[in-house]
Amino acid sequence: MSAPGHAIDPPRRGPRDALSALLARVYALRWDVLPPLTGVAMMAMIVGALIVAPRELIEGELQRIMYIHVPSANAFYLAFFIVFVASLLLLWTRDMRWDAVARGAATVGVLFTGLTLATGAIWGKPIWGVWWTWDARLTSTLILFLIYSGYLLARSTSDVNDEQTARFSAVYAILGFLDIPIIIMSVRWWRTLHPQPIVFRGLERPAMPMEMFVVLLTGMAAILLLTLWFIVLRTEAERLAQRTESLRAAIDRREAP
């Protein structure tokens, strides 16, 4: 019996509860918020890249590819970071929903890695004269492409609810992500052994006029939103696949005599 004058305290809602409640509210808005924001931003990016941005002196119109090439690279950085965090969380919490997030983010990462390589090569052909010159950045990107494709390949060898394969894949994804700085460093050192192609120093300009910079930022924001949207969509699909699979298993058990 509580002492007179004391009401029973409601359960303490600390900052962690408030934070996860807030995150849940934000996440619940994803279907309403992401599509229009992404649409507007993407349109702004296209208009900016093709019309607003000034023509570059050395490369001409071709330089406009940079407005989608650089944001594509940012997209896969984000995606693979999400794979890394989701993999850590999967190992820590053993909650298979993080496996769905990791797989969703990995597919989006592989998509944008491929797009970065493709736009890089298309930019490179007229500038360098060949489709591929083992440029340090593109080579590192290629290696990442292989690592995360390998991740998806390994994960797909067993079904969506297999916890063991999910854990192994998470370990591989963590190793891969931690390897990234070492890969970038070693490939860059490797490339400085040989003379670089003459005309350029890389796909970025050291200083650029304000208009170009603004367009680039717009592109980065647009692609980032697109990436988040794709990851959310794909993760939901993976999650549905997991639930369908458990449903199937339950029905199999029920049907068995």
- List of residues contacting another protein (CB under 8 A): 50, 58-62, 64-65, 68-69, 72, 91, 107-108, 111, 114-115, 118-119, 122-123, 125-126, 143, 146-147, 150, 153-154, 157-158, 164-165, 167-168, 170-172, 174-176, 178-179, 182-183, 185-187, 189-190, 192-193, 226, 230, 233-234, 237, 240-241, 244, 247-248, 251, 254-255
Question: Among residues 130 and 185, whose Cβ is nearest to another protein?
Answer: 185
User: What does the alpha-carbon distance between residue 155 and residue 200 come to, in Å, rounded to a whole number?
Assistant: 40
User: Smallest gap, in angstroms, from Cβ of residue 165 to another protein?
Assistant: 6
**In the complex, what is the shortest distance from the CB of residue 193 to another protein, in angstroms, rounded to a whole number?**
4
Pick left, alpha or beta for residue 44 (phi over 0 → left; psi -120 to 50 → alpha; otherwise beta): alpha
Nearer to another protein, 64 or 212 (CB): 64
Nearer to another protein, 77 or 242 (CB): 242
Nearer to another protein, 20 or 244 (CB): 244
Closest CA to 174 of 140, 146, 145, 151: 151
Angle at 182 between CA 181 and CA 186, to 5 degrees: 120
Locate the DSSP E strands across the chain.
Answer: none
Query: In the complex, what is the shortest distance from the CB of residue 5 to another protein, in angstroms, rounded to a whole number?
Result: 51
Copy the structure tokens of residue 106: 């990995």
Closest contact distance (angstroms) between CB of 209 and another protein is: 19
Distance CA 248, CA 119 (A): 42
Q: 23 or 178, CB closer to another protein?
A: 178
CB of 51 to another protein, least distance (A): 13
Residue 51, CA distances (Å) to 18, 63, 223 in order: 45, 13, 18
Q: Which is nearer to another protein, 9 or 61 (CB)?
A: 61
Query: At closest approach, how far in Å is the CB of 113 from another protein?
Result: 11
Nearest approach in angstroms of CB 20 to another protein is: 25
Q: Whose structure tokens read 């700085």?
A: 181
The residues with which 60 forms a beta bridge, in sequence order, are 56
Kind and range of the H or E element at 203? none
Phi, psi of 56, deg, nearest 5: -85, 150
In this complex, which beta carbon is closest to another protein, that of residue 20 or of residue 31?
31
User: In this structure, are residues 101 and 235 in contact, taking their beta carbons and an 8 Å threshold?
Assistant: yes
Q: Which of 69, 79, 29 is nearest to 45 (CA)?
A: 69
